[in-house]
Amino acid sequence: MPSPKRIGKIEFGLLSPKEIRTMSVRKIIWADTYDDDGFPYPQGLMDLNLGVIDPGLRCKTCDQKASDCPGHFGHIELAKPVIHVGYTRLIRKLLRVTCRSCSRLLLSPEEIEKVVGTEDDLTGDILSEKDIKKERVCPYCGEQQLKINFEKPTTFSEIIIEDGRKIEHKLTPADIRARLEKIPDEDLRHLGINPEVARPEWTVLTVLPVPPVTMRPSIILENGQRSEDDLTHKLVDIIRINQRFKENQDAGAPQLIIEDLWELLQYHVTTYLDNEVAGCPPARHRSGRPLKTLSQRLKGKDGRFRGSLSGKRVNFSARTVISPDPNLSVMEVGIPLAVANEMTLPVTVTPYNIEELRQMVRNGPARRSLSQPCGANYVIRPDKRRMRLAEGNLETVAEMLEPGWVVERQIRDGDIVLFNRQPSLHRMSIMAHRVKVMDGRTFRLNPAVCPPYNADFDGDEMNLHIPQTEEARAEAAILVAVEENILSPRFGGPIIGGIHDHVSGIFMLTNQLKWHTKQEALYLLKNIEIEHLPSPGMVKDGVPYWSNKQIFSIVLPKELNMVFRASSCQNCETCKRQECDRDAYVRIIDGILESGTIDKKAIGAFDGQIVNRIIRQYGMKRAADFIDDITHLAIRAIMMNGFSFGIDDEDLSKTEYGQIEEVLQNAITDVQRRIRIYEDGQLEAMPGRTPEETLEMQIMQVLGKARDRTGEIAGRHLGLGNSAVVMAVSGARGSMLNLTQMAGCVGQQSVRGERIMRGYDDRTLPHFRKGDRGAAAHGFISHSYKSGLNPTEFFFHAIGGREGLVDTAVRTSQSGYLQRRMINALQDLKVAYDGTVRTTGGRIIQFCYGEDGTDPMKSSFGDPVDVKGIVESILKEEV
């Protein structure tokens, strides 16, 4: 159960050599790890005091087993001090701002006061390098200061000017440490350093902590060989050099050798801390791969911070391919039996459910068919012991069951689960569904919930998580459920609604007035729960008929009143309203569709006017039910006549082909004419453009118009009998442009908004004359997809297509980074109980959220109240 303890704060500071020695459990002196028997050397890098990784051994420090021992630090005494690479810039700054002999700040108390302020009146500023003039005299001891040179990665030197010549004098880490040691505490405070936790001399290491073996475990390869962690390798190097250094020092080796060894030690410690320092060749593994040392472990996407701490792994999750099932509710998700059998949910045994749970335990882990009730996989006793249920022990465990035990039962119909598809760009990428256990091996979902997940079924996979506590299930049901997320907080409109065939289907059902027999009506309404049909709208020759609008009205709530124009509306100058030729004037009075066609504007995802109105008037649950009904009805409607598209649907008649040919021919000659005007120097340039640019713009315009004309010609021939037209007009998929390209003419291919200009000298392809500015030579495709492209056209088409691909690839990474930055900048903001927007730290960002305190999700496309809708529904007329 959740611990009541909270970590209050985390303080950061440096480890002093003293602290390193106190926290160390063992001084490490041997570079070797294991002896020939595979046992760790005492005082070696794998010393048993540092923790254990081999199962069976016990830690010598805490006497715990490998699984419980957290590991303990050791230490290495360095022969001579070395610089910590991360702090070279700090050291440089300190050397430059302090005196080389007395180590005090190179500013008089008055000068310090100017920047920092007096004790009572601190400015809050800290001193920086710029506040101190170069090469001045120390105000305390009068010592002439020298210029400090810093060379990457860790070399410091002083510049002495002697007889007009510059002489570089190298500072050893020991010299530097001595100077840093002398800096008084108050001076450090002025520099923004807290001397109690971070004395600057601690940045020059004299002792090196050795991390516990648990954070650098060795792995045993298949051939039984041990392979050590990169950190261990690096530590081996350090100890080896350190040892050699000590020996040479004791033997009184010449200064040159000592210096070399010192530098080598510095190199190894540097790469141990950070193996990507500028000016320092990275330490490599035997195989040539650069070692992953301390900094590299923390850094980057897969580093400790972003990879392991901010992103965590979970249990109780499943992943598989998704596929559509239009018969499911949008609130449901179909789960394969194999997944449901594996995934469990803990239930505490109480006197009320003990019998039910006993039965589940008896059912065991193997549920073979959908009709069988769910079983259980594990039982947890009050002493936290976990018992796996298997064929043999079912009966005995069932008898042992007592209140207080926990049974991990399998998932069954109606359980609430979280469903997710990456990339999780907004909160609707994770929603809670109700389980429906099904055959097959894929997750099944109603296609109407594809838009929020941005899912399709071309092989997409999705993840499923089972909430394990009552709190989690309650939050899932109340906040994360699909029916709570129909509205998008981005713009305050529905994001779940009919797509593709739902829209085409409902369009074909409701477009124009049609009459259906009882048999047809029942066929359409088969998947919708209704008790009885409304009275027939027409009786002819004693046979009752129901109109298509009547059938649609069955799924509408009874008191719904609204008037709007469908997406097939042409925005005519004078609206003929009910008498619209295209039947685009939608009027719903008291839940009856009086006129108009239902299409994308009415029920589609993102638009869904009816869905939107139902949510505001009847709530989210009713809207979810409506979406279920409408999708079921639409699928039946599209099934009644069938819906398909083939190559012959792009056929036009001879007259149209003639007209298209003529339009294109005219356009091409028009282009030729304009080119001639340009070449004669007669073309008048548009203001601010060169004649050449003007010509290009004119050509693009002429050819664009020509393509549109061919589209119109093709459109005249293809009516609502054509499936592609139905899809385009209803808004289900595609546009008239797509149809134009298939049947009429593909049109101009462009790169960066201009005609295709690149290629050979003065021409795009060797098929054309040099300097040819004509339509065909720069990527105009006069054929249609159906008639087929000729080789040059095909090539231009590929050029245009490639640009699109590159664009998408670049865009995803750029927008992903933008979103990461924005989330990071804004994630701590919340609405406080007083209506202000604050950071979690308590800073106020806005006094009233959004200046009016309106929730964008609940708003009506931004407005706090949908006044139009309310007035409309009460007056029952268009306002």
Partner 1 sequence: MRPEFEEAIRVADLPEKTKEQLRTYIADREITKEQFDTILDRVIREYANTRIEACEAVGIIAAQSIGEPGTQMTMRTFHYAGVAEINVTLGLPRLIEIMDARKEPSTPTMTIYLEGEYATDRDRAREVSWQIEAAPLHEFGDIVIDMENMQIVVQLNTQVCEKRRIAVSDIIDTAPRKIRDRRHYRDFECEVDEKNATMIFSPKDRESYQNLFQLAEHVRNVIVQGIDDIERVVVRKESGEYILYTEGSNLKDVFEVEGVDTTRTRTNNISEIAQVLGIEAARNAIIHEALSTLSEQGILVDVRHIMLVADMMCMDGEVKQIGRHGIAGEKESVLSRAAFEVTVNHLLDAAIANEVDELSGVTENVIVGQPIQLGTGDVKLIAKPLKLGES
- Residues 794-813 within binding reach of partner 1 (CB under 8 A): 807, 810-812
In the complex with partner 1, the residue whose CB is nearer, 526 or 820, is 820
| DSSP category for residue 235 | H
Are residues 462 and 420 in contact, defined by beta-carbon separation less than 8 angstroms? yes
User: Of residues 14, 258, 380, 789, which one binds partner 1 by CB under 8 A?
Assistant: 14
Q: Which of 712, 701, 711 is nearest to 780 (CA)?
A: 701
Beta pairing, strands 317-324 & 461-465: antiparallel
Please give the Cα distance from 604 to 564 (Å, whole number).
14
Backbone angles phi, psi at 147, to 5 degrees: -75, 135
Task: Give 163 or 851: the residue with its C-beta nearer to partner 1.
Answer: 851
Given 490, 673, 769, 802, the residue binding partner 1 (CB under 8 A):
490
Interface residue with partner 1 among 6, 133, 385, 540 (CB under 8 A) is 6
Closest CA to 325 of 632, 640, 731: 632
**Closer to partner 1 at the Cβ: 42 or 800?**
800
Local structure of residue 350 (DSSP, 8 states) = -
Q: Segment near partner 1 (CB under 8 A), from 117-125, 139-147, 521-529, 836-844?
A: 836-844
Q: What is the Cα–Cα distance from 209 to 18, expressed in whole angstroms? A: 11
856 is a contact residue toward partner 1 (CB under 8 A): yes
Joined together, the tokens standing for residue 14 give 């440096």
Rule CB under 8 A: choose which of 186, 196, 395, 662 binds partner 1. 196
What is the bridge-based pairing of β-strands 430-438 and 332-336? parallel
**DSSP-derived pairing of the beta strands 386-388 and 376-380:** antiparallel
- Using CB under 8 A, which of the segments 191-199, 263-271, 510-518, 736-744 binds partner 1? 191-199
Contact call for residue 295 and partner 1 (CB under 8 A): yes
For the beta carbon of residue 789, count every other beta carbon within 10 angstroms.
Answer: 17
Asked if residue 213 lies in contact with residue 46, where contact means CB atoms within 8 angstroms, the answer is yes
* CA-closest candidate to residue 664, choices 708, 695, 716: 708
Among candidate residues 671, 656, 624, 856, the one with its CA nearest the CA of residue 773: 671
Binding partner 1 (rule: CB under 8 A), the pick from 70, 117, 142, 192 is: 192
Give the binding range for partner 1 (CB under 8 A) out of 206-214, 305-313, 497-505, 711-719.
Answer: 305-313
Among 90, 354, 406, 533, binds partner 1 (CB under 8 A): 90
Residue closer to partner 1 by CB (options 366, 810) is: 810
Cβ closest to partner 1, residue 191 vs residue 593: 191
Q: Which of 491, 515, 618, 795 binds partner 1 (CB under 8 A)?
A: 491
Does the footprint of partner 1 cover residue 828 (CB under 8 A)?
Answer: yes
Q: Which stretch binds partner 1 (CB under 8 A): 394-402, 558-566, 787-795, 823-831?
A: 823-831
What is d(CA 691, CA 579) in angstroms, rounded to the nearest whole number? 51
Piece in contact with partner 1 (CB under 8 A), picked from 19-27, 498-506, 562-570, 871-879: 871-879
Pick from 686, 692, 762, 790: which binds partner 1 (CB under 8 A)? Answer: 686
Task: CB nearer to partner 1: give 139 or 303.
Answer: 303
Question: Is position 300 an interface residue for partner 1 (rule: CB under 8 A)?
Answer: yes
Which one among 87, 156, 262, 272 touches partner 1, defined by CB under 8 A? 87
Closest CB 231 distance from partner 1, rounded Å: 16
| Least Å from the CB of residue 406 to partner 1 | 19
Query: Which positions from 306 to 325 touch partner 1 by CB under 8 A, shown as an x/- string?
Result: x--xx-x-------------
How big is the site for partner 1, counted in residues (CB under 8 A)?
101
At which residue do the structure tokens 């981005």 appear? 490
Instruction: Choose one: 18-26, 263-271, 404-412, 832-840; the region binding partner 1 (CB under 8 A).
Output: 832-840
**Residue 518 or 811 having the CB closest to partner 1:** 811
Does 697 bind partner 1 (CB under 8 A)? Our answer is yes
Residue 752 binding partner 1, by CB under 8 A: yes
Question: In this complex, which beta carbon is closest to partner 1, that of residue 274 or of residue 650?
Answer: 274
Neighbours of 431 (CB within 10 A): 25
Contacts of 218 (CB under 8 A, 6+ apart): 33, 46, 53, 226, 227, 228, 229, 232
Question: Is 762 one of the binding residues for partner 1 (CB under 8 A)?
Answer: no
Q: Which is nearer to partner 1, 567 or 782 (CB)?
A: 567
Identify each DSSP E strand in 58-132 by its residue range: 74-83
The three state secondary structure string of 707-726 is HHHHHHHHHHHCCCCCHHHH
Which residue type is seen at 144? Answer: Q
Residue from the set 259, 470, 679, 855 that interacts with partner 1 by CB under 8 A: 855
Minimum distance, C-beta of residue 195 to partner 1, in the bound complex (Å): 9
Whole-angstrom Cα distance, residue 632 to residue 502? 8
From candidates 324, 493, 536, 731, binder to partner 1 by CB under 8 A: 493
**Nearer of residues 530 and 806 to partner 1, judged by Cβ:** 806
Query: Which residues ranging from 414 to 443 are in contact with partner 1 (CB under 8 A)?
Result: 425-427
Interaction of residue 18 with partner 1, rule CB under 8 A:
no
Q: Which is nearer to partner 1, 789 or 870 (CB)?
A: 870
Could you please report the per-residue DSSP string of 802-843?
HHHHHHHHHHHHHHHHHHHHHHHHHTTEEE-TTS-EEETT--
User: Could you say which residues in the range 370-409 bind partner 1, by CB under 8 A?
Assistant: none
Residue 422, number of CB atoms within 10 A of its CB: 12
Identify which range of 156-164, 255-263, 590-598, 839-847 contacts partner 1 by CB under 8 A: 839-847
Tell me if 521 sits within 8 A of 509, measured CB to CB.
no
Residue 92 is encoded by which pair of tokens?
A: 């440089």
DSSP state of 1: -
Q: Smaller CB distance to partner 1: residue 456 or 662?
A: 456
Footprint on residues 337-366 left by partner 1 (CB under 8 A): none
| 845 makes contact with partner 1 (CB under 8 A) | yes
**Residue 833 in contact with partner 1, rule: CB under 8 A:** yes
Answer yes or no whether residue 198 interacts with partner 1 by CB under 8 A.
yes
Site for partner 1 (CB under 8 A): which residue of 139, 440, 557, 864? 864
Q: Residues 6 or more apart from 832 whose CB is under 8 A from it? A: 838
Report the residue number, 365 or 608, with the smaller CB distance to partner 1: 608
Please write down the long-range contacts of 420-425, taking CB distance under 8 Å and 24 or more positions apart.
Answer: 420/453, 420/462, 420/463, 420/464, 420/465, 421/322, 421/453, 421/454, 421/455, 421/460, 421/462, 421/463, 422/463, 423/816, 425/454, 425/819
Continuous segment of H or E residues that includes residue 270: helix 255-273
Applying CB under 8 A, among 27, 147, 299, 797 the residue interacting with partner 1 is 299
* Most distant CA atoms of the chain, gap in Å: 125
What residues numbered 615-644 form the site for partner 1, per CB under 8 A?
A: 616
How far, rounded to the nearest angstrom, does the alpha carbon of residue 439 sit from its chain's CA centroid? 31
Contact between 274 and partner 1 (CB under 8 A)?
A: yes
DSSP 337: H
Q: How far is the CB of 620 from partner 1 (least distance, A)?
A: 12
